[in-house]
Copies of this chain bind each other. A is one copy, B any other.
């Protein structure tokens, strides 16, 4: 049985203190105690650990009224680098971050149709990771010589066994039991942290976005596939076998549209990008908005058209929002969260018009009491939340290692790129 232990609490508190420092640097131990609700003694200990790890640094003093000057700490942006890898159906997107989670370098690799065997994907990831490390190492002024890659977080769609580091099943490429971490480790010489995009998106919101400071939040990922990253009790809810969040494969219409999972009537079949294209075909079969075979172009065109008030686009967004609103009302009624965040590229493309229709549809269907407690918002994260979240898994991994074992010896960027 999972039970909160002192060690879990300590790790959670360490996350919380670092989160606050990242959000507001410089800051004092006293301010941190006030914001987090932890005792000053606890904060002092945790700050000491983060200083030892060189994740934060002392940056001077502020005067306090009548008392001793207070020491200030700030993120030591140059104290380490984190890499986030977003593996998607048609591309691999990689970002390298400093410890303030600012992007220092990006790289993209295309996955051409047919290039979806594990060795293809691993090669593209290794190329892109090599590219961001090289770029950051050649960088100007980011203190490159001082940087260290603390870890690489990898987001891979589908069902993952995190302990084994294997993709148990990925429907997009029909992968079964692929030892992804092992394959990656042959090409990527940094500590690796695997998880899926639902959880990467959720942890990004929890650390840096609309779920910060919320106990219960749901991050709804709207892309080709759809799903829900669950933040419950202030932390990620993974479920007993790390499979929680498959909201895309819950039933919206019993015996409805066929779904890629083999079932019928799943939420994803109505609100995933292919499902939205089907709403468009049903609304206006000859619409010029429809780019057959190209989800990204179609959803992009739909987003521009709805913003311009195009009646077909408005109707398609309304149909989509009706289904999405019913499925989000299910999350409101079942989980009673504080906030539901709409994330990923479809949410970004359809934006405010989708949000407004969804809010209306949820209000029609959710129960009054949980509805009143729930805000529905678009993700405020301006960059790719999945690579940010993946990098955050690497940051969490580095924080978790404190006191557990000797921290892994970081690999200096210079020597890798030499």
Contacts and interface: CB of A to CB of B under 8 A. Distances in A.
Interface of A: 1-6, 8-9, 12-13, 16, 37, 159, 168-169, 213-216, 228, 230, 232-235, 237-247, 249-254, 256, 261, 263, 323, 326-327, 329-330, 333-338, 364-365, 367-370, 372-374
Contacts of A246: 333-334, 336, 367, 370
A254 B3 CA distance: 38
A365 B336 CA distance: 25
A338 B1 CA distance: 10
Contact of A239 (B242, B330, B336): B336
Given A16-B3, A251-B329, A254-B252, A159 B369 contact: yes
B365 A215 contact: no
A2 B234 contact: yes
Contacts of A228: 334
17 contacts: A2-B215, A5-B9, A6-B6, A169-B369, A228-B334, A230-B335, A232-B233, A233-B233, A233-B237, A243-B369, A244-B335, A244-B370, A246-B336, A246-B370, A249-B333, A250-B334, A263-B365
Nearest to A270: B254
Q: 7 tightest CB-CB pairs across the interface, nearest first?
A: A239-B336, A2-B215, A250-B330, A246-B333, A244-B336, A241-B373, A243-B370
B16 A365 contact: no
A291 to B, nearest CB: 28
Contact of A242 (B250, B327, B336): B336
